[in-house]
Amino acid sequence: MPLGPAQPLADYQLDDCTGSDANPINGRTSPQGYTWAGGLQGQDDCKLVSNFILDDADGGTNGHCYISNAQWGENQELQVTLQGVPTGSGYMFLMARVQNPPTTGLNAYYFGYLALSGSPIWVLGRILNNDSPTEIASSVAAGTVVVGDKLRIRCYGGTISGWVFRSGAWTSVISAASALVLGSGTFDIEFDGNDTVAKVNDVRGGHTVSYKSQGSGVATETSGAALSPLCPAVVDAGDVLIAHTYWEDTTTAPSTPSGWTLLDGPRVIETTIGRHWIFGKVADGTEDGASVALGSPAVTTQRGARVYSFAGRVSGAITELVQGFSATSHATNPQMPTVSTTHLASLAVACVAQNDNNTAASASGEAGGDWTESVAEFTSALTPGLMLQVQTAVLDTNPGTISGGSVATTSDPCGVIAFEIRAVPASASVPPRPAVLSQAMHRAFSY
């Protein structure tokens, strides 16, 4: 399910539209002091006049401005505020669009306001596959658009959804699942037709962290055997990688892999049963399917490990992003620790280890959010066996706290390590400079 409007993603002001009259919207400084060079661009007849983005009403070429970024798409949102209603003989399409990939033969998804001159003004939600083009979903509701209305488009969890803020409240206009929203594209504010004058202000964007993938879990109880779990098959630069490892007994310990950082542990499970650790790194893009060497101890006790990846990092070192560790130990069923997040873009993560090869489900009974198993648990039928599981939670209010809950499974000693993954360090207030698509490429897209 898409997140509701009460749960915004991290809020960044991309442009407050306070540039000089008739200048292109390009390379100016945001209120947070960051210059978005080319981030918010004017094209054709789209200009800044009296601090608003608008078509110049010349009766000719359509005008639009847009934000291009290789990272826009999944785990992103865009919000604009309407500051002037359309006039003239044409129409306005206040549009947010995600396209993938940014090349010929793209798939494009649209959501926006449509205002037709001489006709009632409509609120339009539409998602189109621009390759066909095939309409995937559409929703139209009559109503007068007024100054102060807001439009938000969000891509989260494989779903693209649109929200409209009208008459003091947010309404979900449309949503549709799409495996094609993969993280690159543009968001457009477009003014089509003749002599259209419409104004928007306060262009905002959002971002959040989400679970991405996992590598193959490994386990051994052979003396001298290497414990080397694999990274996911596809790892992109900037992904947050988390390695969770469990070792039976309390005398042997893993080695910190080269290029990785020990983030938490050892955490003891039921005094003498075993211990587990969390290692992490920010990927440089060379880790596709790579092994992570955790050591080759001369012991015959069981040990296992698995690597997970998370998308949505904007900036920061691994120790600045993965924080707020807490842990529990229990004789029978995993008990979820309390996790407090500190940023709108944060994701809560819990790594479960159990001293037997049991199946496990998502936690239940928690408050403040919803723990969900991200991928089926890894088990190994050694002696007595082991289980590793990862769960994630988007909190009801972020920043906020999730607490309580337990995992239903066969009763065996177990432990849980939980933490927060942030998109940016605590000191950061803005995302990095976006990568810009060429205007020639942008003009090639059909509208």
157 contacts 136 by C-beta, under 8 angstroms: no
Distance CA 358, CA 334 (A): 12
pLDDT in tens, 329-341: 999 999 999 999 9
Determine contact, residues 42/25, Cβ cutoff 8 Å.
yes
> Domain 12-208+430-443: which CATH class?
mainly beta
> Which token pair is 385?
């066996």
- CA 31/CA 29 separation, integer angstroms: 7
Of residues 235, 294, 305, 232, the one with CA closest to residue 259: 294
pTM, to two decimals: 0.69
* Segments of the chain with pLDDT less than 50: 1-2, 19-52, 56-62, 68-72, 100-106, 180-185, 193-196, 429-447
Q: Give residue 21's pLDDT.
A: 38
The answer for residues whose C-beta is within 8 angstroms of residue 256's C-beta and 6 or more apart is 262, 279
In 3D space, the residue among 42, 48, 43, 45 whose CA is nearest the CA of residue 58 turns out to be 45
Judged by DSSP in three states, 321 sits in helix
Sequence ranges of the domains in the chain: 12-208+430-443, 210-421
- Which H or E element spans position 63? strand 63-69
pLDDT the model gives residue 265: 96
The per-residue pLDDT for 203 is: 59
Residue type, 119: S
Three-state DSSP at 363 gives coil
Nearest Cα neighbor of 186 from 117, 101, 244, 248 is: 101
